[in-house]
Amino acid sequence: MILINRDLRMQQDFQDHCGYGVIPEAGGFRFLVYAENIEQITLTLNDVEYPMEKAPVRPNTYTLFFEELTPPFHYVYNILKGGDFFCDLLDPFAPFTDPTGTKSLYKVEEPFHFFSSRPSHSTHNLVIYELCVRSFTKDASANVRAPGTFEGVIEKLDYLQWLGIDAIELLPVTLFHPSQLWGYMPRHFMALAPHLSQDRDPVKSLKMLVEQAHKKGIEVYLDLVFNHTDSMESTLFPFCENFYLKNYDATGCGNTLNVHHPIMTLLLLEAVKRFVQIFHIDGIRFDLGLALCRDEDGRILADPPFIHQLENLFKKKIKIFYEPWDTAGYRLKDFPTKNGLVWDDQIRDTIRRFAKMDEGQIPLIFERFHSPNAVKMISCHDGFTLYDLVSYETKHNLLNGYKNRDGHNGNFSSNCGFEGETKNEAILSKRIRRAQTLYAMLFCFTGPILMNAGDEFLSTHYGNNNPFNQDNRISYLEWNRQIYPSFVDFTKKLIHIYKTTPLSNPLALVQFSGQNPDELGLQHNDHLFVITKTDDSGSIFVAVNSWKDPIEISLPALDNGEWEILLTTAENPFILEHNTLLIARTHFPH
């Protein structure tokens, strides 16, 4: 390995890459890194430290060129800034780290052949299954060869295909400390977390997962955290304090990224580009999406440049989802996107409140019913699981270490008469019926629909509604859970009904009614939900009673044909008791 001085030829050297990281040149490799307002920067390459030089022409860019350097090699940066010394910094533009996740790694990308094409599902009846790679199969009951890894997820793809899932959405998988189970404290935006791979080769493992998912017709989405970093001092701050908003935090994590800094924009778009082109990822979900819309003073922009560039580059290649809020703002109905979809927490809370007999929810359901560009959910990683929604009145987060102050407070949950786990058959029966009510309501909305992993067999976090750091039984899915084994069959049937009837057709005629379905119109009955959806194929009728007393119902009159009962949880399908439902359909003759 020989270090030499060599002039930087701008136009020629940077036409085929983003201009930062490790750049192959004739006879060697050039290191390029961006840094502002520093006193000194050095490169530790293969455990030997070298001072870096300022690059000609390019502002705030430092460089070194080495001849006879053979990949793979590992390296870190060290910065002296304001009298403070920051050492062992990862290269923000490096797509790989060593197996420990502590050093940037340069190696030649290994060839990987994707034989299966992208499934490209429509969003109107899309069913998304959100999962945490580690907690999904870490428990022994998962019965996989590589628990808690991408390989473990691959072993469950047959099950997800059987269930009827169209897409899996992975909680963050870019580099994070293993103690942060969910991965929402990112240490890097490109490099993957080694501990999520059986052989600590996460690039190969994720490619294998995508290929196998596509083979079964399942899309793969990534949850990316572009709004903050794990620690400013050990990630991006030493390179440039302007990579973060100054004196403004919209994330609750002590820092908010300034995504409109030109280098940050470049870095984040390069990360998305890599996931789309190299990994064949089908969609991206952005955590705290509103933080990506703020200017340097924290103000929300009407047309955020980062969102604008992102959607122009990738809108036809992938699906893009946003959380339309951050800790300082909320823009569900006017989130500044032209092509993305948003998560809808209002539908979530309205259905929850309906199921627990809160008054006045039917008009709110009607208001949110026509929202094809919003992702609907009852639960997700953040908050109570479906089972915990019907088993706990309050959150139980003490083990997280924040004196139960963390986690969402407005859960709209009910314990059905007892707080927590119980073997009381009467209470369990109430819980199961309420869970069925919640899921049946969810699948009445035109998609996309989001499911939380494990809800289909009533998984629990034991009342913890924010187990982001609980890498243990609290978070792991218990695949042999026997609370109500047939709930998974109930879920599978709901998904099938949703996909094969007018229920998911955004163009279907929707009619709201009351106990008598022939008296059409929005009925302000607080506790009975009745709709009929009709398209060219026929009609589907759904009635759900959340009230404590039985309600007698009837099916709409037909000119010809007859109704077929598809699903009911009531002993008598036409007398709906507390938290029971009826779904029926009729076919039009061709």
The catalytic residues are: 287, 323
Do 257 and 229 meet the contact criterion of CB atoms below 8 Å apart? yes
CA 286 to chain centre: 7
Which residues fall within 8 angstroms of residue 182, CB to CB, at 6 or more apart?
A: 132, 171, 172, 381, 468
Q: What is the DSSP letter of 332?
A: S
Residue with tokens 């119109």: 521
> Which helix or strand (DSSP H or E) is residue 222 part of?
strand 219-224
SS (H, E, C) 56-120: CCCCCEEEEEEECCCCCEEEEEEEEECCEEEEEECCCCCCEECCCCCCEEECCCCCCCCCCCCCC
Which residues fall within 8 angstroms of residue 189, CB to CB, at 6 or more apart?
A: 92, 174, 224, 226, 267, 268, 271
DSSP class per residue in 349-405: HHHHHHHTT-TTHHHHHHHHHS-TTEEEES--SSS--HHHHTT-SS---GGGTSTT-
**What is d(CA 85, CA 79) in angstroms, rounded to the nearest whole number?**
6
Number of residues in the chain: 590
* C-alpha closest to that of 435 among 362, 566, 524, 544: 544
Distances (CA, A) of 359 to 365, 376, 384: 12, 21, 22
- Return the half-sphere exposure (C-beta side, CA atoms, 13 A cut-off) of residue 48: 7
